[in-house]
Amino acid sequence: MRAMPPDASERVLTQQLKELVEYGVVQRTVVDPVVKHTEYALTDLGRSLIPIIEQLRAWGDGFRPRLEEILRERADSEKPQS
């Protein structure tokens, strides 16, 4: 869990990894059961998702300026007017 996203709980991440293993997207390998060292790797199915995820990221990067504008406009409209 060393490389966990900063806002992810260990319990949620563990559950999601378990589901990805069940779906065949990720492969789980116990490296050392004594120290509970487990590694995860993408399967061929998981790797087939990379282009889709990259497309989603590119779309999000392109949409980010508009989203920031929408959020600024919303915040400005919710400010009390004096």
Backbone angles phi, psi at 37, to 5 degrees: -95, 110
**How many residues does the structure list for the chain?**
82
The predicted pLDDT at position 8 comes to 78
Residue 3 and residue 17 in contact, taking contact as beta carbons nearer than 8 Å: no
In tens, the pLDDT along 11-65 reads 999 999 999 999 999 999 999 999 989 999 999 999 999 999 999 999 999 999 9
| pLDDT surpasses 80 at 4 | no
Provide the residue ranges of all domains of the chain, joining segments of one domain with +.
1-43, 49-82
pTM: 0.67
